């Protein structure tokens, strides 16, 4: 933690869906993702670009000071296995209480035609700072499966 840091990143998790209980304010995360597989043929039909699925990147922030509210700019960047940026998802947060959850909803997971470890880099910039500082990352393994069409047709006939 930096010496002037007022807001700390506690955790981030990639999942398919979340739900907040209205009575307790507790969050439930469903289908937490560590890896995603897609057939190369499906990927090619979609012309690449993104795996068609809805996702949520859920992050918990915590104030480190007693001040009324703490504001920060946040930038989430998705990188492919080579570190190539595939998209940025910026947002600002204002944390009036001790903790704050934030959800980034994604309609599709941007990918290149490469299997491997993709990473969501979480960065923040608090008032007065000139640069974003990386505070966390969430990896997801993407497996683009190359199955020959004849093998797939043969498997369907057997079923």
CATH of residue 85's domain is: 2.60.40.10
Judge whether 35 lies within some domain: yes
Q: How much is the pLDDT for 114? A: 87
Judge whether 1 lies within some domain: no
Judge whether 32 lies within some domain: yes
Phi, psi (degrees; rounded to nearest 5) at 66: -90, 0
Q: How much is the pLDDT for 155? A: 67
Judge whether 2 lies within some domain: no
Judge whether 132 lies within some domain: yes
Q: Tokens representing 159? A: 């079923």
Which residue range is the domain that position 73 belongs to?
7-158
**Are the CB atoms for 43 and 134 separated by under 8 Å?**
no
Q: Average pLDDT for consecutive 10-residue bins of the chain (159 residues)? A: 78 96 94 90 68 93 86 95 95 91 92 92 90 96 78 66
Q: How much is the pLDDT for 151? A: 64
**Are the CB atoms for 112 and 84 separated by under 8 Å?**
yes
Q: How much is the pLDDT for 46? A: 60
Judge whether 141 lies within some domain: yes
d(CA 45, CA 39): 10
Q: How many domains does the chain have?
A: 1
Buried b (16+ CB within 10 A) or exposed e, 65-81: eeeeebebebebbbbbe
Residue 37 CA, chain-centre distance (Å), reads: 16
Judge whether 138 lies within some domain: yes
d(CA 90, CA 125): 11
């Amino acid at each position: 933690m930096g010496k002037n840091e007022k807001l700390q990143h506690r955790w981030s998790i990639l999942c398919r869906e979340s739900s907040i209980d209205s009575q307790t304010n507790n969050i439930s995360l469903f289908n937490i993702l560590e890896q995603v597989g897609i057939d190369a043929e499906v990927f090619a039909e979609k012309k690449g670009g993104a795996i068609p699925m809805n996702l949520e990147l859920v992050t918990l922030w915590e104030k480190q000071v007693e001040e009324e509210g703490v504001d920060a700019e946040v930038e989430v960047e998705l990188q492919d296995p080579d570190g190539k940026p595939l998209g940025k998802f910026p947002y600002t947060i204002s944390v009036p209480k001790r903790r704050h959850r934030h959800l980034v909803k994604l309609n599709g997971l941007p990918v290149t035609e490469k299997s491997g470890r993709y990473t969501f880099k979480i960065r923040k910039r608090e008032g007065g700072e000139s640069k974003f500082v990386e505070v966390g990352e969430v990896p997801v393994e993407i497996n683009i499966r190359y199955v020959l069409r004849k093998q797939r047709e043969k498997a369907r006939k057997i079923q």
